Amino acid sequence: MIPAKIDPISITPIREKGVESILDWFERHKQTFYILGWSYLSNQQQMEELFYQSIVKIHKELPRFKSETSFETWVTSIFIHICREIANDSSLQASEESEQQKNLFKALDQLKEYEKEAIVLTYVKGLSHGETAQLLQVSVEKIKELLFSGIQLIKKEMGFGLPFNGCKEYHKDYIDYLEKTLDRSKKIGFEKHIYHCQDCQEDLATFQDVMLTMSNLTEGIEDFHVPSDFMENVKARLAEKEKHRQLKNKKRKRMGTVFASVFALLVGIEVLTGAFTNIYYSWTEEDQELRAYLQQDLGERLNLEAENNGVKIKIKSAIADDVQTLLFYEIEDTAEDNQYVINNYEGISVENEYDIMNSNANQMYYPPDLESEVNNEKKNVFQGKISLLPLSKEKGTIKLKITQLQKLIGDPSDRNSLRAYENMEYGTGEWSFEIPVTKQPSIEYALDDETEVEGVPIRFDKLTIAPTATILQYSINHAQSGKRINFLNFDNLEVNNKKVKADLYGNSFLESPLDMNWSSFQAHFNPLFGEKPKEVNVQFGSIYLTIEDPKTIILDAAQEYPQTFEYSGSTISIDKVEVGLPSKVVISNHNIEKRAYESLQFNIMGEGENATTSMEMNSEGVLVDKNGTEYNMDINPVPYEEIEQPRYLLTVQGLELRSDNAGEKVIPTRLEIYGYNTTKYLDDVVKISLE
């Protein structure tokens, strides 16, 4: 196996000298990259094209290189990306290969995409598991799984006998054991097991044979000499390109734009496909969510910029569908170290909203991601997204105007707290954009399933798979008495074994239900990117109920308070009944452990002419997560979005009562409780059939 190398070269000279330094770098590394290229291609014409395109691409993308990774790893990602492009180009035909190569390449071609990439990068390029995991954007454990399954299939293709029959729980240790990286304690246990298990002994021996055979094959490829004129031909092509560039110097910028447009078009029509499209975007787009949309060809890079008062706003991309129009932005304070975000509801307007957007739709909300790695790298740059209304047309241009930005204040660790919003600061200016958008199609699936939750019928009506969201439309029956479900919260939706989480802010009520006994809602989940559902499972998270449980308590201001009474398994205290202007009634229950209710639905009744009153309520409460852990709302920060299924239990409810006749006192006579509200946690999973 070719040993992995750590390139000690500094990136600074390469940036300064440009193409010449990149070419020199490839001259020193040509052997390993030539071998890597031969894993995908098979003639010198293809290989020359590969090196030429790689050097051009690296030179173009060099300003975006991040020093967090090694230069060689970054180059490898681009190199393989172009390998795949050329391998898919039928205009460059392959030549004859040696029998040894044929056997290896035939076996590799039988692997799944990620299995092949893991094998090639590990055993041909010689990268570590960590470096391979970084390139493929998966975990190290996943790389080991891919290597195991890939070697298992190569074993079959190259005639090494039957599938592995050893104990499955030890399969994951084969690679670490043979590479001598298994922890000592695990190694001892593994060797004890192998000693007593004949099947595992045979498995391990065969597995080792396959790995040795692969090493021998790759070593055989390494013996192939890079043709003496190979790099000279590449240099000649680059020199010709430079000569052409100088002759066309006046048109250079224009031609660069055309090249970028053509390259974007190639990506759009999926000439550049597979795992290494993901690698390419991993180096050119920091925002992981936007990167996913670009990989799926659901939008394009825009990078529209406007600057005012030392603050530069860039609209990076726009993703539009029937649900919403997502704008991904970056804000840079070029004068000071401030971070700004766009507030969905203040200082932003679409000047042609009524011409281009669906004003009847609900606008989605996404809180700014204050904890992302990219937003903690620089003190003066913030990347985020906002949701606008969906388009009413198939395509158009959004005329966006921004006049105010919200400034993030305080330490980043405090920004999720309520206190961060008490003294908000703003930056003002004027930033205008004309944003071209094209609405991406959505697919709707009619549903006709019904289930019951706490005895209340729930009906599933429709599933919509849109590029920016997955939407489940459902209805709750409220014809029965005694119990009503106000809200139904979901945990996740699973389509074809792929789970997507529910959007915390994505529940919405639908007007004009078809049946007056049903209330219709929409639940939003993360996008599925065009998944065609064969099987749909939905997992409930919780429900918010209203329970009818009437009880009347007589009040008498002449008596001494506090007094207590029992209700729904709890002891409730009436702390105060006071007649005055206004009259006051205070009830409390500080014991929240295993309490049936979160809040009471009640009214205070007066007597005689003073029975008609107005009430003002003041309340106190405590935030509790699913496990019963309490969070003090008066102590900031409260990480609300991080709390698992939070609920708010009222501990004190104080009322002030006033008569409709000014100057008259209200005499409280009865506390009439109609029922209570409560949250119940669920873990039910319902399988939904598609029509």
Q: What is the average pLDDT across 574-600? A: 90
pLDDT in tens, 119-141: 777 776 778 888 888 777 778 88
Q: What is the average pLDDT across 55-71? A: 75
Q: What is the average pLDDT across 392-408? A: 92
**Residue ranges of domains in the chain:** 11-223, 299-438, 443-544+683-688, 547-678
Residue 218 has pLDDT above 70, yes or no: no
Q: What is the pLDDT of residue 314?
A: 95
pLDDT band at 401 (very low <50, low <70, confident <90, very high): very high
pLDDT band at 18 (very low <50, low <70, confident <90, very high): low
Residue 601 has pLDDT above 60, yes or no: yes
Residue 4 has pLDDT above 60, yes or no: no
Greatest mean pLDDT range, 111-120, 234-243, 318-327: 318-327
* The domain over range 299-438 is classified in CATH as 2.60.40: yes
Greatest mean pLDDT range, 2-11, 87-96, 627-636: 627-636
Q: What is the average pLDDT across 205-234? A: 66
Contact (Cβ atoms closer than 8 angstroms) between residue 109 and residue 15: no
Q: What is the pLDDT of residue 467?
A: 92
Greatest mean pLDDT range, 223-227, 320-324, 600-604: 320-324
> Is the preceding omega at residue 63 within 30 degrees of 0, hence cis?
no
Contact (Cβ atoms closer than 8 angstroms) between residue 344 and residue 302: no
Residue bearing the bigger pLDDT, 36 or 3:
36
| Poorest-pLDDT segment among 216-220, 360-364, 632-636, 644-648 | 216-220
Q: What is the average pLDDT across 188-199? A: 76
**Helix/strand/coil for 60:** helix
Owner of token pair 């409460």: 621
| Poorest-pLDDT segment among 26-30, 537-541, 582-586 | 26-30
Q: What is the average pLDDT across 243-260? A: 48
Q: What is the average pLDDT across 221-231? A: 65
Q: What is the average pLDDT across 503-520? A: 75
Side-chain-facing half-sphere of 577: CA atoms under 13 Å: 23
State the chain's mean pLDDT as an integer.
78
Contact (Cβ atoms closer than 8 angstroms) between residue 505 and residue 535: no
| Poorest-pLDDT segment among 169-173, 402-406, 679-683 | 169-173
Q: What is the pLDDT of residue 549?
A: 92
pLDDT band at 95 (very low <50, low <70, confident <90, very high): very low
**DSSP H/E element including 221:** helix 198-223
Contact (Cβ atoms closer than 8 angstroms) between residue 676 and residue 599: yes
3-state helix, strand, coil in the chain (%, to 5): 35, 30, 35
Rounded to the nearest 5 degrees, what angle is found at the Cα of 342, between the Cα atoms of 336 and 346? 120
Return the beta strands (E) in 201-303 as ranges: none
Domain 443-544+683-688 has what CATH class?
mainly beta
The reply to whether 443-544+683-688 shares the fold of 299-438 is: yes
Share of the chain above pLDDT 90, in %: 25
pLDDT band at 68 (very low <50, low <70, confident <90, very high): low
pLDDT band at 381 (very low <50, low <70, confident <90, very high): very high
- Say how far apart CA 400 and CA 435 lie, in whole Å: 7
Question: What phi and psi, each to the nearest 5 degrees, are found at residue 198?
Answer: -65, -40
Q: What is the pLDDT of residue 438?
A: 93
Q: What is the average pLDDT across 369-395? A: 88
Residue 5 has pLDDT above 80, yes or no: no
How many Cβ atoms sit within 10 Å of the Cβ of residue 76? Answer: 23
Residue 573 has pLDDT above 50, yes or no: yes
Q: What is the pLDDT of residue 268?
A: 45
Q: What is the pLDDT of residue 137?
A: 74
Which two tokens mark 404? 């105010």
C-alpha radius of gyration, the chain, whole number: 33
Residue 572 has pLDDT above 90, yes or no: yes
Residue bearing the bigger pLDDT, 337 or 150:
337
Q: What is the pLDDT of residue 30?
A: 82
Which two tokens mark 577? 């009944």
Q: What is the pLDDT of residue 331?
A: 94
- Say how far apart CA 657 and CA 667 lie, in whole Å: 9
Residue 657 has pLDDT above 60, yes or no: yes
- Say how far apart CA 24 and CA 22 lie, in whole Å: 5
pLDDT band at 161 (very low <50, low <70, confident <90, very high): low
Share of the chain above pLDDT 70, in %: 77
Residue 91 has pLDDT above 50, yes or no: no
pLDDT in tens, 266-290: 344 443 444 444 444 544 677 888 8
Burial of 615: CB neighbours in 10 Å, binned 0-12, 13-18, 19+: middle
Q: What is the pLDDT of residue 313?
A: 94
Residues with Cβ within 8 Å of 117's Cβ and at least 6 positions away in sequence, in order, are: 80, 132, 135, 136, 146, 275, 276
